Amino acid sequence: MTRFSSYQKIGYHTSLAGADWLENTATQHILSVLEQRGFEARIVGGAVRNTLLGHPVTDIDIATTATPEEVIITATQAGLTVVPVGLSYGTVLVKSKGMAFEVTTLREDLTTNGRHASVRFTTDWKVDAQRRDFTINALYCDARGNVLDPLDGLRDISTFKVRFIGCPDCRINEDYLRILRYFRLFAQYGKGAPDQLALEACVRGRNGLRKLSRERVSQEFLKLLVAPRAITAISAMNNHGLLSVFLPFAPRLEYLARLIKTTPNSPASVRLATLCLAVEEDADRVIEALNLSRIMQKEIKNIATALHSCAQLSSPHLIRVLMYENGRDNVRQRINYLKCAASNGEEDPEWSNILELIDTWSIPKLPLNGNDMLAIGVTPGFDMGIVMKLVKDRWIESDFTMTHGELLNYANSLVLQRGLNKDILTY
């Protein structure tokens, strides 16, 4: 990804020429196809914002003066694949050279109802910008890299300020999820304190969060949890009565701060558990509150089981088994998560003992192999797999102490027993 100097970021030089995603042939091709038919087309939103701020670009959205029907006709005639994903809102998915772009007609929102707006298409770029959420998302870039800034978003980019466009209360009333999105973008891109007008509007509109589906709230909050300034944003939400609207917990901000400081790459599931789980039973409450996915439910419950019971991890044998099965780095990372999140994480010396064991124990290899099995008459295939599994289980049960000779004798005894009992190696 091309990074731009501070001189370029703050708007004195508002060209993104040279950005990898902009120079990409797929991007240039689709912009060229529209422009050759007389339409204006520009990249909008996150790609422009992230490039100016030096963040990675993952999605490329295009705004155009062409109507959805004109986009479909133009793209199809150019041999591009078109998927009409949101025609009533002016959005068409266009695939160019293996990449997918959302192409949306410039529009103004006449009436809004959450995400469901009644729209009118336009060719006015400022009108299109005014219906968006935040100034830093209302920046446009043409095929040559020239940035169009109808609403002073470059100034906010330069000061790392996240502000609503126009009336903050109006933007929030259009979709209450914008409250959470505000704090997520503040946590991701902001510096200093939250914008005062934005904060006051979020507080006034907080009861609107109850109208949102738990899935939408969950998706936005989990993204917020892994943002660089998550603690600052969540603390502000908590201090102003926003967090309790959708999370019925006394937030454990001190523990979350400790986790983030010591393990900055900790995933959202661990951060959520650290923030919310004061007792094991809280797992079911947070799962219900956010309607978490099955995968996330399993992760939260597993964390809850171990979080407040260091005794479950105090067995050196168990730690060695975990290391053998999952690797040193994986186990060290997970134990560090649990230590930071546990209520006794700093005081209980057992955590230090566990970490010392992880760092000092050499993970062994099973002394027996397939050649040993062949030597005692075990045929390759299903039988050998079963014998090796039973041998490995016995070796692990011995805390990895059984020698090659002892394991070979055990394997041989299994073979002899099988000669007497054909079911000895079945499950």
Per-residue pLDDT of the chain (427 residues; tens, 9 = 90+): 333 433 244 333 478 999 999 999 999 999 999 999 999 999 999 999 999 999 999 999 999 999 999 999 999 999 999 998 888 889 999 999 889 999 999 999 887 765 667 889 999 999 999 999 999 999 999 999 999 999 999 999 999 999 999 999 999 999 999 999 999 999 999 999 999 999 999 999 999 999 999 999 999 999 999 999 999 999 999 999 999 999 988 999 998 998 898 888 889 998 999 899 888 889 999 999 999 999 999 888 877 876 655 556 668 898 899 899 888 887 887 787 777 766 655 666 778 888 899 999 999 999 999 899 898 888 888 788 889 999 999 999 999 999 999 999 999 998 887 653 344 444 3
Residue 297 and residue 336 in one domain: yes
Q: Is residue 72 part of a domain?
A: yes
pLDDT at 299: 86
Q: How far apart are the C-alpha atoms of 404 and 35, rounded to whole Å?
A: 73
Residue with token string 């479909």: 72
Looking at 211, 246, 281, the residue that finishes a domain is: 246
pLDDT at 382: 73
CA 68 to chain centre: 31
Q: Is residue 427 part of a domain?
A: no
Q: Is residue 426 part of a domain?
A: no
Statement: the pTM of the whole predicted model exceeds 0.75: yes
Ramachandran bin of 308, using left for φ above 0, alpha for ψ from -120 to 50, beta for the remaining angles: alpha
Element (H, E) at 335: helix 328-341
CB within 8 Å of 355: residues ≥ 6 apart: 332, 335, 336, 339
| Lookup: tokens for 253 | 């901000």
pLDDT at 343: 60
Residue 70 and residue 190 in one domain: no
Q: How far apart are the C-alpha atoms of 242 and 261, rounded to whole Å?
A: 24
* Number of helices (H), then strands (E), in the chain: 23, 9
Residue 258 and residue 207 in one domain: no
pLDDT at 215: 96
Residue 110 and residue 59 in one domain: yes
pLDDT at 306: 66
CATH code of the domain containing 167: 1.10.3090.10
Backbone angles phi, psi at 134, to 5 degrees: -125, 150
Please count the other Cβ atoms lying within 10 Å of the Cβ belonging to residue 71: 29
CATH code of the domain containing 63: 3.30.460.10
**Is-contact 363 389, C-beta < 8 A?**
no
Three-state SS across 134-187?
A: EHHHCCEECCCCEEECCCCHHHHHHHCCCCECCCHHHHHHHCCHHHHHHHHHHH
* Closest CA relative to residue 366, chosen from 396, 330, 333, 322: 396
Q: Is residue 118 part of a domain?
A: yes
* Structural domain count, the chain: 4
Q: Is residue 94 part of a domain?
A: yes
Residue 238 and residue 258 in one domain: no
Report the chain's C-alpha Rg in angstroms. Answer: 29
* Closest CA relative to residue 37, chosen from 1, 86, 75, 81: 75
Residue 137 and residue 84 in one domain: yes
pLDDT at 339: 78
Q: Is residue 1 part of a domain?
A: no
Q: Is residue 425 part of a domain?
A: no
Looking at 116, 140, 158, the residue that finishes a domain is: 158
Residue 14 and residue 154 in one domain: yes
pLDDT at 1: 36
Residue 145 and residue 179 in one domain: no
Range of the domain at 126: 6-158
pLDDT at 408: 93
Q: How far apart are the C-alpha atoms of 173 and 179, rounded to whole Å?
A: 10
**Is-contact 217 289, C-beta < 8 A?**
no
Q: How far apart are the C-alpha atoms of 22 and 9, rounded to whole Å?
A: 16
Residue 359 and residue 395 in one domain: no
Q: How far apart are the C-alpha atoms of 391 and 397, rounded to whole Å?
A: 10
The number of residues in the chain equals 427
**Residue type for position 352:** S
Longest Cα–Cα distance of the chain, Å, equals: 87
pLDDT at 346: 62
Alpha helices in 176-293 (DSSP H): 177-189, 196-204, 214-225, 230-239, 243-246, 253-262, 268-276, 282-290
Three-state SS across 63-106?
A: EECCCHHHHHHHHHHCCCEEEEEEHHHCEEEEEECCEEEEEEEC
pLDDT at 426: 44
Q: Is residue 197 part of a domain?
A: yes
Residue 216 and residue 305 in one domain: no
Residue 133 and residue 173 in one domain: no
Residue 13 and residue 138 in one domain: yes
pLDDT at 377: 83
pLDDT at 103: 98
pLDDT at 85: 87
Looking at 319, 344, 363, the residue that finishes a domain is: 363
